[in-house]
Amino acid sequence: MIEITILAVMLLAGLAVGLYLRRREGAVRSAPVTLDRDTGARDDLLVAAGVTGSGPAVLHFSADWCGPCAAVRRVVADATGDLADSPRPPRDIEIDIDADPALARALNVLSLPTTFVFDAEGRERFRISGVPKTSDLRSALGPLTAGSAAG
């Protein structure tokens, strides 16, 4: 009887952890504001990647061996395509993590796929782990693509 109880508790714990992780997958989260990081090297890497601060950008990391990265590619293309006629159309930037590991380290990318949304000034606004929903990504980008300089 004790073995069955232990098994039931372990199954419930596993289910709870699985549901929690599934809920976080693809969620658009605001980026934390950190003031004590070395932003010079990070900013240089971002500019080299194409996040120039001339408009909003969606930067997503992928790899040839990453299955879900193809879905992220489609979602980002759909969201940026929908906003292409906005006053500040967002840029779609894909980085192969195997080809550019320095930028991935600078942005603290721990898993694939990972997507970042940068505002028109090049500041990180959102971070998405997993495959985002097109509507969530479009909602995050919408205010950043408006014509006002405040973004």
Distance CA 73, CA 31 (A): 21
Catalytic residue among 51, 57, 59, 69: 69
Catalytic residue among 27, 31, 49, 66: 66
Q: Is-catalytic flag, 69?
A: yes
DSSP state of 145: G
Q: Is-catalytic flag, 66?
A: yes
b (16+ CB within 10 A) / e for 54-86: ebbbbbbbbeeebeebeebbebbeebbebbeeb
Active site amino acids? 66, 69
